[in-house]
Structure 1
Amino acid sequence: MSSLERRSLRVGYTSLCDCAPLVAAFELGLFAEHGLDVRLERQTAWSTSRDLLRIGALDAAHMLAPAPVASWMGAGDRALIAPMAMSLNGNTIALSMALFAEVEAHDPEAAHDPLAAARALAALAKQRIAAGGRPLLFAAVFPESNHHLDLRRWLAAGGLRIGVEARIGTVPPVEVEHFLERGLIDGFCVGEPWGSLAVSRGAGRIVASSYDLWSNRIEKVLAVGSQFAAENPRTCEALLQAMIRAAQWADPPENRTALASLLVHGGYVDAPIEVVRRSLTGRVPYAPDSTPRLNPDFLVFHRYAANFPWRSQAAWFAQALAEAGLVQSGGAPLSAFRPALYARAAESIGAPYPLVDVKSEAAHATPWIFEQATSPIQMGREAAFDGATPTEGAA
């Protein structure tokens, strides 16, 4: 600890359930145990977190997994890296109640099948355009996000054309429910608890979770400035050590109720505690006054090698961002994810970690074992709703 280059750190977070490892590390004193004096600072927009990291006003931040990858693409400034993932899954796509009623009337299977919902939605949208109506309006939290990429993929799977029958804009996470309730958008993709909050208030109906679309994919990462990591290697390692321990604590079901209390009563997430608890325990109602759907993997913090920054997933993010026209292709996108930094921190605290940084993606319909690790790691189901798998060696 005495050899840390810096002790005082400013770390950003966004008000979501998946900021939980940061909150746990702070509230349980794990940062302090590793010699760090951390100040957690709430950010209201992902662009703010990204830009504050770029200029060094934040040292680290809870961040969308594709964002550091985007910074290494094309003519990007290569200012951000991700030495650790923070979570898997945890997002929802929701439609307004009125629109979902039309979708379900068109195809009752839409209530249970994301692909059926997308196809029914496309049929309705095309009818609306043919009758002189406007395109459907959707909100995602940021262009360089799984939210935007998943919305595009889900809409396209149904046959909708982005920019023709549907448009996607950007709305901060805490605002999407208000936009839906006021009729400013027809649907959204957002991280929990904001999709569940829309359901609890009768404003929206969830049609898919990110687990439903691509199970157990990296959702958020811990991002740090490239220069910060280069100049403060021991401090960066201490930060990762504390965060891995926090993720280990946050993951088991028996700690999720206490975790909900930390998030809500600590003032990190401004939502009713029952809504947050349901998100964290995987008991999420998709419709108002409905029986919750049970999914223990709805939001994962550590198991399934959840904290390892897989470069095979960085490759998929780069491919998807370029294909969507959100970021110029090229550059060195895989360099955004730094598995070697994670491995060093994990080894120092006795946590298992993979010995290679790529794996087959979206190619496991059932749980499986990853053998190429310091000890075998139990992995979860990894499959895509449309049956597609990322291009081998993309980007």
Structure 2
Amino acid sequence: MNLKSKKAWLPLAKLAASTQKVTLSLLVGSAVFSSVVHAELGYPEKEELKFGFIKLTDMAPLAIAYEKGYFEDEGLYVTLEAQANWKVLLDRVIDGQLDGAHMLAGQPLGATIGYGTKAHIVTAFSMDLNGNGITVSNDVWQQMKQHIPNGADGKPVHPISASALKPVIESFKEQGKRFNMGMVFPVSTHNYELRYWLAAGGINPGYYSPKTGDISGQINADAYLSVTPPPQMPATMEAGTISGYCVGEPWNQQAVFKGIGVPVITDYEIWKNNPEKVFGVSQAWADKYPNTHIHVVKALIRAAKWLDENNNANRPEAVKILARSEYVGADEKVIANSMTGTFEYEKGDKREIPDFNVFFRHNATYPYYSDAIWYLTQMRRWGQIPDAKSDDWYMDTAKEVYRPAIYQQAAESLIEEGLMTAADFPDFATEDGFKPPQGEFIDDVVYDGKQPNAYLNSFTIGLKGDDQI
């Protein structure tokens, strides 16, 4: 179902009083523009926009920007449209059917460097941190539990290492069976997080070899990873096609809800406060509609702040919105399991993880170059980038795709309008686009975005230096 906001020329006072929606449309007026916005940014060059998304809870900034009227406040009249899968979504941004979309962070990078469909895609807005999990079937969980210590409360000690999965995979091999796992897309966070977790536990997740035409990602694999669309993950595992998967919410909690599987680890435990989705547009679109782009980012920043403010006080309302069929379309209880600061592992083992979903805290919306470079290192580690690259190449590629200058313009406009404060954002006078070296990974390896090749050299499993497949 499409969601579309429509404009009408209403006086501001009437607009403020008007709250009625008709078939999901909110009538708004151009009077919402302040004189500062007119002077500083100019009007949007394009007002009627269509944005795509996948039915995951981390599309929330788009839904909230629509529902709370933040797009309309910027003079934007937006249609939100669910897409069938990540490839369709990307293709429709490239060919102009969509003005922009909720994207996997690896998609703009992969497209720009020519892995898969070649196209220059950019992002000026990071949509969230964390939000994914790795789930295994009940049968696999029962076998894994034998290798996981319990705490004083009798529950498994977290985080759970993939080393507990290794003997299960060896058992599959002895029976002549492949151990299959699902992830959502070859350049998805989920693919790289699942690979990271497996490799940290001594399990080789396989390599890509685009030069030889083998893009299965399964060369020399102990565990065989393949693409499964997020909403289909639980059913595919229940059917026995895969024995586990890595996906965003609500599809891990759905496995618990249906009693068909157990989430064993969250991405928060694999890499604390890892970057997740981005809002992507084509470079051609960004060049043609620079004012529009800034106005879009302004609306999304406001939505992200609303989602996190007052210690997640708005999350119950967000859950009700996301549960609707036009957005995520999952049971409210399933979405609330993670969106309200908890996460359920084995049935009944619900634990507090207040930062499982982060939309604004920790400068979550800022497009850091170091985030982009991490994804590029993982593309190199697993062979999607087949040749060695210099540290400068990683930096130059990050700058091609991630656009903090656009984000800064949007943020400064919000500050000038009194809608946000400088304390809500990084210090733009000193910000260089790199987070300090990060050490909160499950394997304790430290990531410094300014030294990508040194980072790659620190891994036992994975390509480095001049390695090729």
TM over 0.5: yes
- Aligned counterpart for 1:146 among listed residues 165, 189, 193: 189
Aligned to 1:174: 231
Return 5+ residue gaps in structure 1 as ranges: 364-382
Which residue of the partner structure matches residue 282 of structure 2?
Answer: 225
Decide which moves more: 234-243 or 47-56.
47-56
Task: State the Cα deviation string for residues 11-60 of structure 1 (Å, max 9, x = none).
Answer: 00110110001000001111011000100010121111111111111111
Counterparts of 1:74 and 1:291, CA distance in 2: 43
Please give the alpha-carbon distance, in whole angstroms, between the structure 2 residues aligned to 1:113 and 1:277.
Answer: 21
Letter in 1 for 2:318: L
Q: What's 1:369 paired with?
A: none
Counterpart for residue 255 of structure 1: 314
User: Are positions 1:298 and 2:298 aligned together?
Assistant: no
Partner of 2:457: none
Write out aligned runs for 1:190-339 (5 A).
190-252=247-309, 253-265=312-324, 267-288=326-347, 290-328=348-386, 332-334=396-398, 335-339=400-404
The alpha-carbon deviation at position 101 of structure 1 amounts to 0.2
Change (3 A) 1:56 1:316: same
TM-score of the superposed pair, with normalisation by structure 1: 0.90
Give the whole-Å Cα distance in 1 for the aligned partners of 2:64 and 2:194.
Answer: 30
What one-letter code is carried by the residue in structure 1 that aligns with 2:180? L
Q: Which amino acid aligns with 1:120?
A: A
Cα distance in 1, alignment partners of residues 299 and 242 from structure 2:
40
Select the structure that is richer in strand: 1
State yes or no: 1:63 paired with 2:103. yes
Task: Provide the secondary structure at the position in 2 that maps to 1:56.
Answer: coil
Greater displacement, 325-334 / 95-104: 325-334
Q: Give 1:313 shift.
A: 1.2
Specify the alignment match of 2:17 in structure 1: none
Distance 1:58 1:100 in 2: 41
CA distance in 1, matches of 2:199, 2:259: 27
Distance 1:5 1:328, change over 3 A: farther
Larger radius of gyration: 2
2:244 aligned to 172, 184, 187, which one?
187
How many angstroms does 1:211 deviate by? 0.3
User: Does the alignment pair 1:51 with 2:96?
Assistant: no
In structure 1, C-alpha distance between the alignment counterparts of 2:246 and 2:68, rounded to whole Å: 31
- Give the counterpart letter for 1:239 in structure 2: V
User: Aligned residue for 2:465?
Assistant: none
Residue type matched to 1:27 in 2? E
Contact kept, 8 Å, 1:247 with 1:302, in 2: the verdict is yes
State which drifts further: 188-197 or 323-332. 323-332
SS at 2:452 equivalent: coil
Deviation beyond 6 Å, 4+ runs, structure 1: none
Q: Distance between the aligned counterparts of 1:337 and 1:70, measured in 2?
A: 13
CA contact (8 A) 1:74 1:327 kept: no
**1:72 aligns to what?**
112
User: How far, CA to CA, are the matches of 1:38 and 1:134 in structure 2?
Assistant: 49
Q: TM-score, normalised by structure 2?
A: 0.76
Alignment length, in residue pairs?
373
Matched to 2:52, the amino acid is G
Rounded Cα–Cα distance in structure 2 between residues aligned with 1:187 and 1:112: 20
Distance 1:349 1:229 in 2: 20
Paired with 1:58 and 1:327, the residues of 2 have a C-alpha distance of 28
CA–CA separation in structure 1 for the residues paired with 2:160 and 2:261: 18
Q: Return the alpha-carbon distance in structure 1 between the equivalents of residues 237 and 149 of structure 2.
A: 23
Aligned to 1:362, the other structure's residue is in SS state coil
Choose between structure 1 and 2 for higher RCO, CA contacts under 8 A separated by at least 6 residues. 1
Identity %: 34
Identify the match of residue 163 of structure 2 among 95, 112, 119. 119
Q: Which residue pairs with 1:4 in the alignment?
A: 44
Q: Give the whole-Å Cα distance in 2 for the aligned partners of 1:346 and 1:96.
A: 44
| Aligned residue runs from structure 1 range 314-393, under 5 A | 314-328=372-386, 332-334=396-398, 335-350=400-415, 351=420, 352=422, 353-354=425-426, 355-363=431-439, 383-391=440-448, 392-393=450-451
What SS class does the counterpart of residue 218 from structure 1 fall into? coil
2:61 and 2:303 in contact (8 A); partners too: yes
